[in-house]
């Protein structure tokens, strides 16, 4: 195993990476090592996150952990990595119980984790991030040149293309992900936990990630993949553990599973959403001609009533700004913007008045006030109009009434209009936001990442609301970083790359690979 | 006159330099420290009171320890108790204000100050602390930018989760930084009561702690910047004193208060003119670290 890894490493570099080599040898010594999580339970307050979960990881295996949000996948791995202290149960290596109380303990045992939310320091360089906590020193001072060369060696040996001197916050999300993995590999881990690694990657970047990880696993690295993307799980994993509500409900082999069977295990029985019926586009609702605003350059597109236009792209290529232009949060620098018959820049207030509804990307920042009651949140944005206001006064009865109706029709639970919004689960909060926005009878709905972070049931609910709205003749602009979501819902897709339109596709032409290329700016379509 | 001005800066600046660097260390670790004022007061009192019983250099060490002790309370409240860091800092200032007065009256039956003590010896016309204040900024700068500890310090103020994930104890690192911050503030206070004056007076440190925090912001949370800003403030102060003594007519035109406010007003102007984002505080500043935060 050591030979396989060492090949291709220049001798000059080799001496400087002695530390990593020895870590690798140590990992090799434990070639048959089995890590077992035994009867782990964990609570957060009254909420049970893990309920008597056991899982074994054999050397060189690729184990996928699947389940809905809140099923306990990440919690279980956070216990293994020493970030959470389990209330009950223990971890054993080859049958001998060990104590992992901090990430430092986990790293000593060769267990590394790549988090869903990156744990990188943006103001530091790649090399500084990678060696953090185990810095090379020279006479007691931090030896940056050596850190750089060590990290360079690690990158080269594992096939990562990264500049160790680059500041992390200048890197793309895909590269930052690589830094996270290099961080773990640099410590010489023998078990690597990947928590939703592809959530923010393009299909190409995801493929690359899996190719590299698969190679490492062939060389003896144990990989745990936490994901809810069933297709990637089925192609990547050698074993799949399914979690539901804090319990491990099944362990299956990919060869004996289908996305449908896994989804069923994840949520119990569940009816798949119907494929969207043929769109019946009506009149033009949105027209952009050669529009420039902030990073957006010469963007031309239109949206008709009764259709969903999907905006695809890697994070930070102008999608956010496009949504801001449409909702009046950003003014137009040049070009023509026509929304619902009105030409020119909008303000949020004008946008609302002409029938633009907005499901913002960050619900907590831009859509709701968690310390307000559900009813108060429903009235936000329309607080000056009936039934929420009566002249200059708040119409409490009207608000309560409308909130009840809304919670009923959008299945927001618990049905308590006076409850603090923060007490609702994320899915219910989002259902409420969607309900509120659609309740105003808009002509255009701008939905940015409307299902991010929701569990499958809530995802279905939100998606079917979007489709209902479309069926009733509403126009939808759907911005999502999740290409699968865009392809599932949109009638047409426009791809943004560096603020420009790099591709446009009708539903019949949807091709994940091609769209992925446009997202990376590799190809114009 | 210029030499007199320089002399007066060399006497007045060290307290501010130590405290500003102290504040910088705490805030780079992600813990807001507006309690510098209180920690300086603890240092000033501790040093003066101890110097009655022991040689003044040892008294200064007691002052340093007093500052560190008060900072440990702040650290414990902020890091382990996860209380609001600004509130904790202000509470410390208020408690120290009252405690100083109480101890003066209880121990020395004198509300104005302690009895006089022997001042620190002078080297080349100034106390050793003056020379330390010239060297220390560079030492701390080196420690922050060129040592593993400094790397971790900078990282923990930006993203504690990253530091924790790499196996470094966030709470310990922060606790140490805050205590060190208090020790430096205590040293600054001790300089006031053992080098600038020869006793603790009840008004000490008279807002110097807040000036130190302003110097830290002005200096963009870097040791050298904070020290430079502290020097600038001290210079402004010295200039004011020298103006009011050499040109008393000036005070009839410009009220003393305006001159007093000059360094602060300058800070505001500088901050207002800075490009947005140029003076960026550490990203995780003021946020309690909760390892199980979901």
User: What's the pLDDT tens digit per position in B146-182?
Assistant: 999 999 999 999 999 888 888 888 999 999 999 999 9
Residue A165 has pLDDT above 70, yes or no: yes
A141: contact with B, CB 8 A cutoff: yes
Domain boundaries, chain A: 2-267, 284-519
Which contacts (CB < 8 Å, 24+ apart) does range A49-54 have?
Answer: A49/A75, A49/A246, A50/A75, A50/A76, A50/A79, A50/A86, A50/A246, A51/A245, A51/A246, A51/A247, A52/A88, A52/A89, A52/A247, A53/A89, A53/A243, A53/A246, A53/A247, A53/A248, A54/A89, A54/A248
Q: How many residues does chain A have?
A: 525
Taking an 8 Å cut-off on Cβ atoms, the answer to whether B154 and A123 are in contact is yes
A457 against B86, higher pLDDT: B86
**What distance in Å separates residue A401's CA from the closest CA in chain B?**
34
Average pLDDT over residues A396-402: 93
Mutate one of A43, A69, A142, A193 to test the B interface: name it (highest B CB count within 10 A).
Answer: A142
- Give the rounded percent of residues in chain A with a pLDDT score beyond 90: 38
B260 against A368, higher pLDDT: A368
Q: What is the rounded distance in angstroms from the CA atom of residue A359 to the CA atom of residue A480?
A: 12
User: What's phi and psi for A188, nearest 5 deg?
Assistant: 70, 40
Residue B294 lies in a domain: no
Residue B91 has pLDDT above 70, yes or no: yes
Residue B294: band (very low, low, confident or very high) from pLDDT cuts 50, 70, 90: very low
CA proximity to B182, closest of B12, B14, B37, B29: B37
Average pLDDT over residues A156-160: 83
The pLDDT value given to residue B146: 92
User: What's phi and psi for B194, nearest 5 deg?
Assistant: -115, -15
Tokens of A41: 């339970």
Taking an 8 Å cut-off on Cβ atoms, the answer to whether B167 and A117 are in contact is no
Residue B1: band (very low, low, confident or very high) from pLDDT cuts 50, 70, 90: low
Taking an 8 Å cut-off on Cβ atoms, the answer to whether A103 and B165 are in contact is yes
Average pLDDT over residues A294-323: 90
A:48-107 residues touching chain B, CB 8 A cutoff: 81, 83-84, 102-107
Q: What is the rounded distance in angstroms from the CA atom of residue B11 to the CA atom of residue B3?
A: 12
Shortest CB distance from A44 goes to which of B163, B167, B294? B294
The pLDDT value given to residue A232: 85
Which residue in chain B is spatially nearest to A138 when comparing CA positions? Answer: B147
Tokens of A416: 């308590």
Residue A213 has pLDDT above 80, yes or no: yes
C-alpha of A62 from chain center? 21
CA distances from A419 to A46, A380, A400, B104, B261 (A): 18, 16, 12, 53, 49
A121: contact with B, CB 8 A cutoff: yes
Helix (H) or strand (E) holding A227: strand A222-227
Contacts of A105 in chain B (CB under 8 A): 167
Which residue in chain B is spatially nearest to A124 when comparing CA positions? Answer: B155
Residue A22: band (very low, low, confident or very high) from pLDDT cuts 50, 70, 90: very low
Taking an 8 Å cut-off on Cβ atoms, the answer to whether A124 and B151 are in contact is yes
Residue A273 has pLDDT above 60, yes or no: no
Average pLDDT over residues A275-280: 69
Residue A19: band (very low, low, confident or very high) from pLDDT cuts 50, 70, 90: very low
A36 against A280, higher pLDDT: A36
Taking an 8 Å cut-off on Cβ atoms, the answer to whether A121 and B159 are in contact is yes
A426: contact with B, CB 8 A cutoff: no
Contacts of B159 in chain A (CB under 8 A): 119-122
- Give the rounded percent of residues in chain A with a pLDDT score beyond 70: 90
Residue A184 buriedness (CB in 10 A; 0-12 / 13-18 / 19+): buried
Three-state secondary structure string covering B221-276:
CCHHHHHHHHHHHHHHHHHHHHHHHHCCCHHHHCCHHHHHHHHHHHHHHHHHHCCC
Half-sphere exposure of B175 (CA within 13 A, CB side): 14
- The parent domain of residue B96 ranges over 2-273
Contact B200, B45 (CB under 8 A): yes
Average pLDDT over residues A463-486: 90
Mutate one of B166, B169, B173 to test the A interface: name it (highest A CB count within 10 A).
Answer: B166
Burial B156-192 (b: 16+ CB within 10 A, else e): bbbbbbbbbbbbbbbeebbbbbbbbbbbbbbbbbbbb
CATH number of the CATH domain containing B233: 1.10.3470
Residue B280 lies in a domain: no
Which of A16-20, A274-278, B8-12 comes out lowest in average pLDDT?
Answer: A16-20
Which residue in chain A is spatially nearest to B159 when comparing CA positions? Answer: A121
A401 against A173, higher pLDDT: A401
Residue B281: band (very low, low, confident or very high) from pLDDT cuts 50, 70, 90: confident
Contacts of A129 in chain B (CB under 8 A): 155, 162
Residue A26: band (very low, low, confident or very high) from pLDDT cuts 50, 70, 90: very low
C-alpha of A198 from chain center? 7
Residue A444: band (very low, low, confident or very high) from pLDDT cuts 50, 70, 90: very high
The pLDDT value given to residue A523: 58
Span B7-28, pLDDT tens digits? 888 888 999 999 999 999 999 9
A140: contact with B, CB 8 A cutoff: yes
Contacts of A115 in chain B (CB under 8 A): 161, 165
Tell me the pLDDT of chain A averaged across its residues.
Answer: 84
Strands A191-195 and A222-227: parallel
Helix (H) or strand (E) holding A379: helix A374-379
Strands A444-448 and A475-479: parallel
The pLDDT value given to residue A517: 78
Order of strands across the sheet that contains A284-293: A296-304, A284-293, A334-339, A342-343
Residue B42: band (very low, low, confident or very high) from pLDDT cuts 50, 70, 90: very high
Which contacts (CB < 8 Å, 24+ apart) does range A350-356 have?
Answer: A351/A326, A351/A327, A352/A328, A352/A381, A352/A382, A352/A440, A354/A443, A355/A440, A355/A441, A355/A442, A355/A443, A355/A444, A356/A326, A356/A327, A356/A328, A356/A442, A356/A443, A356/A444, A356/A445, A356/A446
**What distance in Å separates residue A179's CA from the closest CA in chain B?**
12
Which residues contact residue A419 at a Cβ distance below 8 angstroms, ignoring those fewer than 6 apart? A373, A374
Shortest CB distance from A119 goes to which of B150, B152, B162? B162
Residue A133 has pLDDT above 60, yes or no: yes
Q: Which residues pair with A421 in a beta bridge?
A: none
Tell me the pLDDT of chain B averaged across its residues.
Answer: 88
**What distance in Å separates residue B26's CA from the closest CA in chain A?**
18
Residue A23 has pLDDT above 50, yes or no: no
Question: Total domain count for chain B?
Answer: 1
Q: What is the rounded distance in angstroms from the CA atom of residue B191 to the CA atom of residue B60?
A: 8
Residue B110 has pLDDT above 90, yes or no: no
The pLDDT value given to residue A411: 87
Taking an 8 Å cut-off on Cβ atoms, the answer to whether A133 and B163 are in contact is yes
Residue A15: band (very low, low, confident or very high) from pLDDT cuts 50, 70, 90: very low
Average pLDDT over residues A72-100: 89
Tokens of A274: 């119907």
Greatest alpha-carbon pair distance for chain A in Å reads 80
Taking an 8 Å cut-off on Cβ atoms, the answer to whether A137 and B148 are in contact is yes
B224 against B247, higher pLDDT: B224
Residue A138 has pLDDT above 60, yes or no: yes
Taking an 8 Å cut-off on Cβ atoms, the answer to whether B292 and A137 are in contact is no
The pLDDT value given to residue A3: 38
A-B Cβ pairs (cutoff 8 Å, strict):
84
- H-assigned helices in A164-295: 173-186, 203-218, 230-236, 259-267
Most trustworthy range by pLDDT among A45-59, A156-170, A409-423, B63-77: B63-77
A169: contact with B, CB 8 A cutoff: no
Task: Provide the 10 A C-beta neighbour count for residue B213.
Answer: 25
Superfamily of domain A2-267: P-loop containing nucleotide triphosphate hydrolases (3.40.50.300)
End-to-end CA gap in chain A? 44
Span A284-519: which CATH code?
3.40.50.300
Tokens of B35: 């309690």
Tokens of A346: 């909008």
The pLDDT value given to residue A483: 80
Span A225-267, pLDDT tens digits? 998 777 888 989 999 999 888 889 989 998 888 877 887 787 6
Residue A338 has pLDDT above 80, yes or no: yes
Average pLDDT over residues B31-36: 94
Helix (H) or strand (E) holding A408: helix A396-409
Which of A429-443, A474-488, B76-90, B246-260 comes out lowest in average pLDDT?
Answer: B246-260
Residue B291 lies in a domain: no
Whether the ω angle into residue B205 lies within 30 degrees of 0, i.e. cis, is yes
Helix (H) or strand (E) holding A158: helix A144-158
Average pLDDT over residues A398-411: 92
């Amino acid at each position: 195993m050591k030979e396989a890894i060492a090949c291709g490493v220049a001798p000059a570099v080799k001496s400087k990476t002695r530390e990593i080599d020895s870590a690798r040898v140590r990992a090799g010594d434990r070639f048959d090592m089995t890590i077992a999580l035994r009867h782990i339970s964990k609570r957060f307050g009254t909420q049970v996150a893990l309920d008597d979960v056991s899982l074994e990881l054999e050397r060189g295996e690729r184990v996928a952990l699947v389940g809905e949000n809140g099923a306990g996948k990440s919690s279980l791995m956070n216990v293994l990595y020493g970030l959470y202290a389990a209330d009950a149960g223990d971890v054993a290596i080859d049958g001998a119980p060990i104590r992992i109380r901090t990430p430092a303990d986990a790293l000593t045992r060769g267990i590394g984790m790549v988090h869903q939310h990156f744990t990188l320091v943006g103001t530091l360089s790649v090399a500084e991030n990678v060696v953090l906590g185990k810095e090379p020193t020279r006479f007691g001072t931090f030896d940056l040149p050596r850190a750089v060369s060590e990290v360079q060696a690690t990158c080269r040996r594992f096939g990562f293309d990264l500049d160790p001197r680059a500041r992390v916050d200048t890197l793309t999300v895909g590269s930052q992900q690589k830094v996270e993995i290099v961080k773990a590999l640099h410590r010489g881990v023998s078990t690597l936990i990947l928590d939703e690694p592809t959530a923010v990657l393009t299909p190409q970047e995801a493929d690359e990630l899996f190719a590299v990880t698969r190679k490492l696993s062939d060389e003896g690295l144990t990989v745990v993949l936490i994901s809810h993307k069933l297709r990637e799980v089925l192609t990547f994993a050698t074993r799949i553990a399914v979690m539901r509500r804090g319990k491990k409900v099944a362990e299956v082999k990919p060869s004996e599973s289908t996305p449908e069977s896994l989804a069923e295990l994840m949520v119990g029985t569940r009816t798949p959403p119907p494929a969207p019926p043929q769109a019946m586009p009506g009149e033009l609702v949105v027209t952009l001609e050669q529009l420039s605003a902030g990073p957006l350059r010469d963007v031309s597109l239109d949206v008709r009533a009764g259709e969903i236009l999907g905006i695809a792209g890697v994070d930070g290529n102008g999608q956010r700004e496009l949504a801001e232009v449409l909702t009046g949060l950003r003014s137009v620098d040049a070009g023509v913007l026509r929304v619902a018959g009105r030409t020119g820049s909008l303000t949020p207030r004008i946008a609302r008045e002409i029938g633009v509804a907005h499901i913002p990307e960050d619900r907590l920042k831009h859509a709701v006030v968690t310390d307000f009651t559900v009813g108060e949140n429903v009235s936000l944005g329309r607080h000056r109009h009936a039934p929420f206001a009566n002249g200059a006064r708040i119409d409490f009865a009207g608000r309560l009434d409308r909130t009840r109706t809304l919670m009923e029709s959008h299945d927001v639970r618990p049905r308590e209009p006076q409850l603090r919004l923060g007490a609702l689960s994320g899915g219910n909060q989002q259902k409420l936001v969607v309900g509120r926005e659609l309740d105003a009878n808009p002509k255009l709905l701008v939905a940015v990442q409307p299902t991010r972070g929701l569990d499958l049931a809530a995802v279905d609910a939100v998606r079917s609301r979007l489709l209902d709205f479309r069926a009733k003749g509403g126009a939808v602009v759907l911005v999502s970083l999740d290409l699968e979501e865009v392809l599932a819902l949109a009638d047409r897709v426009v791809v943004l790359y560096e603020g420009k339109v790099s591709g446009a596709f009708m539903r019949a032409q949807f091709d994940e690979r091609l769209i992925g290329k446009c997202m990376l700016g590799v190809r114009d379509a | 006159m210029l030499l007199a001005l320089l002399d007066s800066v060399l006497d007045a600046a060290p307290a501010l330099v130590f405290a500003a660097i102290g504040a910088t260390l705490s805030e780079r670790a992600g813990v807001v420290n507006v309690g510098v004022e209180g920690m300086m007061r603890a240092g000033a009192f501790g040093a003066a009171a101890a110097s009655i019983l022991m040689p003044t250099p040892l008294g200064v060490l007691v002052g340093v320890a007093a500052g560190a002790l008060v900072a440990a309370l702040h650290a414990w409240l902020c890091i382990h108790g996860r209380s609001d860091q600004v509130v904790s800092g202000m509470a410390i200032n208020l408690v120290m204000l009252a405690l100083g007065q109480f101890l003066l009256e209880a121990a020395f039956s004198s509300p104005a100050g302690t009895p006089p003590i022997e001042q620190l010896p002078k080297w080349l016309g100034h106390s050793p602390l003056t020379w330390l204040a010239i060297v220390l900024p560079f030492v701390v700068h080196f420690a922050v930018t060129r040592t593993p500890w400094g790397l971790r310090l900078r990282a923990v103020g930006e993203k504690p989760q990253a530091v924790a994930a790499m196996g470094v104890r966030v709470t310990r690192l922060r606790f140490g930084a805050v205590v060190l911050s208090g020790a430096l503030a205590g040293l600054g206070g001790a300089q006031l009561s053992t080098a600038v004056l020869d006793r603790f007076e009840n008004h000490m440190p008279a807002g110097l702690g807040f000036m130190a925090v302003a110097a830290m912001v002005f200096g963009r949370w870097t040791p050298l910047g904070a020290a430079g800003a502290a020097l600038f403030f001290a210079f402004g102060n010295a200039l004011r004193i020298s103006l009011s003594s050499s040109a008393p007519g000036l005070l009839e035109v410009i009220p003393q208060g305006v001159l007093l406010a000059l360094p602060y007003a300058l800070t505001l102007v500088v901050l207002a003119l800075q490009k947005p984002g140029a003076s960026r505080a550490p990203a995780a500043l003021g946020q309690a670290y909760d390892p199980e935060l979901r």
